[in-house]
Amino acid sequence: MFDPTTELPKIPDNPGCYLMKDRQDTVIYVGKAKNLHRRVSQYFSGHDDRAFVSMLGDVLEKIDVIITKNEREALILEAGLIKRHRPRFNVLLKDDKDMPQLRIDLNEKWPRVEIVRRRKNDKAHYFGPYPSGQACRRSLAVLNRYFQLRTCNDKVFANRTRPCLQYEIHRCLGPCLIQVDEYEYLRQCQDAILFLSGRYDDLKTKLLARMNLAAEQLAFEQAALYRDQIAAIEDICEQQKIVQKTPVNQDYWAMSGDDIMRCVVVLLVRQGRLIHMQTYEARDSVTPPADILLQIMVHHYQTFDNYPSEIILDRTLEEQKDLLQETCEALSGRHITLTFPQRGTKSSLLETAQLNAEQQVNQRRTNESDLLLLVEQKLGLQRYPHRIECYDISNMQGGQIVAAMVVFIQGKLDTSRCRTFKIRTTQGQDDFGSLNEVLSRRLRYLKPSEEEEHHLSNAEASFCEMPDLLLIDGGHGQVNAVMAAVETSGMTGAFDVIGIAKARMQSENAAHEVEHSPERLVYPNIEEPLILEQNDPVILLMANIRDETHKRAIGFHRRTRESETMKSRLDAIEGIGPKRRAKLLQAFGSVANIARQTPDNIARTAEIPLKLAQKIIDELS
C-alpha cells in the first residue's frame, strides 16, 4: 500500500508524468505536472474532494514518475501514456478514428486512393475522417471520375489480364496493362491530394494553366479533362460555406458537457472555407475540463498532418497559451498562432463551434446514452459501457469446439468487430477451459508493442480496442474461468465482467403452462445473482446481446462441422488431394451433389480419370 509519508519525499520537483498503479501493477491514472512533487502531494493534502481521490487509499500501491525536460514534453508524453495504458480513471476518449478516411501512399509505384478506418504511422497521406461512409464514398467517386487513378487493390492489380470497365469509361488510366507515363500519373495523384486537402484555389490555378497549354497544343481531349476537373472543383466550392474573406487555415476549438460526458468540437477552416467538423467525446469525472481539452488537442495533432496556421480558443485557456503554443509547434514543426477572440468574425465562428459542441452533447445523450446510462447505474458498473463484448462456447459432444465474440458499440451490434475462434489447446467438452483459452488469446491483443501496433491491419486494430464490459453467457463457473484469464493477463479492474445465466424451465402444470426461472446476472466473487424485472430494458438488452452471441457461435459451429465432414469424406479417397477436392466442390457444390453424378460427368467436369471418378462414386454411395 502506498505510504505518503515515506514515498512523497522521493518524488522530484522536475516536470514530468506520474503513473498511479494498483496491487496488480496496473496503471489506474496518468497525469502530468510542471512540478511532480508539488502536484502529487496535492492528492494527499486532504483538500481534494473528488471521488477518485477518496478511493486512492484502497487501490493505490505505488506511483512511478517519468522526468521530462519541460511541461511541453510532459503533455505530449501524457497523451501517449494514456493511449497505451488506457487507465480506468483517465479520459475515456471516443473520437472519429473508426469513421471512414481516405488514404493515398505516394511511395507506391501506382498509388490509389482507398477507404480505411485507422491511421498508421506509414508516411501516407490521410484525409478525413468523414461523418459517414456515404460522404466518404461520394468524395472517392469524384476522385475516380475526374482524376483517373486506379481503384483495384494490389492483388487484383497484379493479376489483371485485360483493362477493367473503369478504363473503358475513362475513369482510370489503366496502369495495370496500358503504358502510362509515371510522371503524369504521379501529377494526378498530387492533384488529388490538393483536392482532398481543400486547397481548391491552388489546384484550380494549376489546372487552368494546363488546360490553356493543352488547348494551344491542340490536345483537346486532355484540355476537356482539365475543364471537367475545374468544373468539379467549382461545384465543391459552391457547396462549402465561405467563412473568411481571406484564404486562411484555422482550427476553432470548443467544449461542452459535464463530468458524465463532454463533447469537444473542432471546426477546420482551410483556404477560408469550412471543410470539416470533427467531434471528440470524453467521459471523465476526475480530470479538470481544461486538462481534458489539452489532452484531446495533443491527441488530435499527433494523428492529423493537415495543420492550421492559427488555432482559435476560448479565453478560459488563455493561461495555458505558452504551453499550448510550444506543444503544437513541436508536433507540427511550424509556427502556429493561438488566438482568444472577444469580438469579430473569429469570435462568431468560435460561438458556432460552441453551439455544435452543445448540440453533440444533447444529441448523444438523447440518442445513445439513456439506456446505456441505465445499464451503468443498474448493473453497478465502474465505467460507461460504450463497448460491450459477449462470449459464448459451442460444441457437440466435445467435437469442433468453437467460440464467438460479439461486439456492441453504443448499444448497437457492430458486425465488423465480431470474431469467431476455434479452440486450439483445450481438450474435450470443457466450457470453462475453452472460455479461459479464448479470453487469454483475446486479452493479449490489448497491449501490443509500438512496433506491433504500426503493423496491425484495420481488423486487428479494432481487436486491440479496450472493452468496457465483458458479458459472458453462463453462470459462476464461466465467470470464474474468465476472471482467471483476466488476472493472468494483468487486466484486473480494466473493465467489468458479468455473466448472464439463461432462464430455464422450472415446472409445468396440468394445463401445460411452463414456468421459467428469471434471467440472472452473475458477478465475480458475489454468490447471489442480480435479478431484475424481466421486462426491464437493461435485462432485455443483455439478453439480446447474449442471444446474438449464441446464434453466431452455433452458426460458426455448424459451418465448421459441415466443412470438416466434407473434407474428411473426400480426403479419405486415394487420389483426391486439396486441388482436386476444391475443384470438385466448386463444380458440384457439396459432397451430396457429387454422389448423385455419373462417373462420366465427374470425369469430364473435374478433368480427372474415369477410373478415379468411378472410385469417388463407390466411396460416397
Q: Residue 46 domain-assigned?
A: yes
Q: Is 466 helix (H, G, I), strand (E, B) or coil?
A: coil
pLDDT at 472: 94
- Choosing from 63, 90, 117, the residue where a domain stops is 90
Q: Is the pLDDT of residue 507 over 70?
A: no
pLDDT at 496: 93
| One domain for residues 80 and 156 | no
| One domain for residues 446 and 585 | no
Looking up residue 444, the CATH number of its domain turns out to be 3.30.420.340
Residues 101-113, mean pLDDT to the nearest whole number: 88
pLDDT at 88: 73
Query: Contacts for 590-595 with beta carbons within 8 Å, 24 or more apart?
Result: 590/566, 591/565, 591/566, 591/620, 594/620, 595/620, 595/621
For 433-490, write each residue's pLDDT tens digit.
Answer: 999 999 999 988 876 555 555 555 555 566 778 899 999 999 999 999 999 999 988 8
Q: Is the pLDDT of residue 390 over 90?
A: yes
pLDDT at 354: 92
Looking up residue 263, the CATH number of its domain turns out to be 3.30.420
Q: Is the pLDDT of residue 69 over 80?
A: yes
Return the closest-CA partner of residue 128 out of 313, 291, 304: 304
For the chain, the C-alpha Rg in angstroms (whole number) is: 30
User: In the structure, what pLDDT confidence band is assigned to residue 95 with cuts at 50, 70 and 90?
Assistant: low
Q: Is the pLDDT of residue 172 over 80?
A: yes
Return the closest-CA partner of residue 391 out of 545, 172, 182: 545
End-to-end Cα, the chain, rounded Å? 72
> What is the three-state SS of 238-261?
HHCCECCCCCCCEEEEEEEECCCC
Lowest-pLDDT choice from 48-52, 145-149, 207-211, 315-319: 48-52
List the Cα angle 414/85/442 in 5-degree steps: 45
Looking up residue 41, the CATH number of its domain turns out to be 3.40.1440.10
Q: Is the pLDDT of residue 137 over 90?
A: no
Q: Which three cell numbers stand for residue 618?
A: 463407390
Q: Which three cell numbers stand for residue 484?
A: 482467471
Lowest-pLDDT choice from 290-299, 395-404, 442-451: 442-451
Residues 604-619, mean pLDDT to the nearest whole number: 87
| One domain for residues 404 and 518 | yes
Q: Are 262 and 356 in contact (CB under 8 A)?
A: no
Lowest-pLDDT choice from 71-75, 182-186, 501-505, 577-581: 501-505
Which is higher by pLDDT, 452 or 1? Answer: 1
| One domain for residues 347 and 405 | no
pLDDT at 16: 92
User: In the structure, what pLDDT confidence band is assigned to residue 522 with cuts at 50, 70 and 90?
Assistant: very high
Q: Residue 159 domain-assigned?
A: yes
Q: Which three cell numbers stand for residue 305?
A: 498532418
Q: Is the pLDDT of residue 164 over 80?
A: yes
Return the closest-CA partner of residue 274 out of 306, 254, 255, 252: 252
| One domain for residues 392 and 528 | yes
Half-sphere exposure for 415 (CA within 13 Å, toward CB)? 1
Answer whether the bond into residue 467 is a cis peptide, omega within 30°.
Answer: no
Structural domain containing residue 293 = 250-376
| One domain for residues 363 and 317 | yes
For 295-318, write each residue's pLDDT tens digit.
Answer: 888 888 876 667 889 999 988 888
Q: Is the pLDDT of residue 221 over 60?
A: yes
Distance separating alpha carbons of residues 259 and 490, to the nearest angstrom: 28
Q: Residue 367 domain-assigned?
A: yes
For 530-553, write each residue's pLDDT tens digit.
Answer: 998 887 889 989 988 998 999 888
Residues 225-242, mean pLDDT to the nearest whole number: 68
pLDDT at 513: 52
- Choosing from 239, 264, 293, the residue where a domain stops is 239
Q: Residue 566 domain-assigned?
A: no
Average predicted confidence (pLDDT) for the chain? 82
| One domain for residues 311 and 403 | no
Q: Is 377 helix (H, G, I), strand (E, B) or coil?
A: helix
Number of domains in the chain: 5
pLDDT at 238: 54
- pTM for the model stands at 0.52
User: In the structure, what pLDDT confidence band is assigned to residue 252 with cuts at 50, 70 and 90?
Assistant: very high
Q: Residue 518 domain-assigned?
A: yes
pLDDT at 481: 93
Which is higher by pLDDT, 449 or 293? Answer: 293
User: In the structure, what pLDDT confidence band is assigned to residue 125 with cuts at 50, 70 and 90?
Assistant: confident
Check the CA dihedral 355-359-361-362 and report its sign. positive
- Bridge partners, residue 93, by sequence: 282
Residues 129-158, mean pLDDT to the nearest whole number: 78
- Choosing from 328, 346, 376, the residue where a domain stops is 376
H or E element in which residue 439 lies: helix 431-443
Q: Is the pLDDT of residue 97 over 80?
A: no
| One domain for residues 517 and 402 | yes
Residues 315-331, mean pLDDT to the nearest whole number: 87
| One domain for residues 221 and 255 | no
pLDDT at 555: 85
| One domain for residues 45 and 166 | no
User: In the structure, what pLDDT confidence band is assigned to residue 18 with cuts at 50, 70 and 90?
Assistant: very high
Q: Is the pLDDT of residue 369 over 60?
A: no
| One domain for residues 471 and 554 | yes
For 371-380, write each residue's pLDDT tens digit.
Answer: 888 899 899 9
Share of the chain above pLDDT 70, in %: 87
Q: Residue 381 domain-assigned?
A: no
Which is higher by pLDDT, 86 or 150? Answer: 150
pLDDT at 489: 86
Residues 583-608, mean pLDDT to the nearest whole number: 84
| One domain for residues 436 and 494 | yes
Distance separating alpha carbons of residues 365 and 374, to the nearest angstrom: 12
Q: Residue 565 domain-assigned?
A: no
Q: Residue 171 domain-assigned?
A: yes
User: In the structure, what pLDDT confidence band is assigned to residue 254 with cuts at 50, 70 and 90?
Assistant: very high
Q: Is the pLDDT of residue 145 over 80?
A: no
List the Cα angle 535/541/543 in 5-degree steps: 80
Residues 148-162, mean pLDDT to the nearest whole number: 85
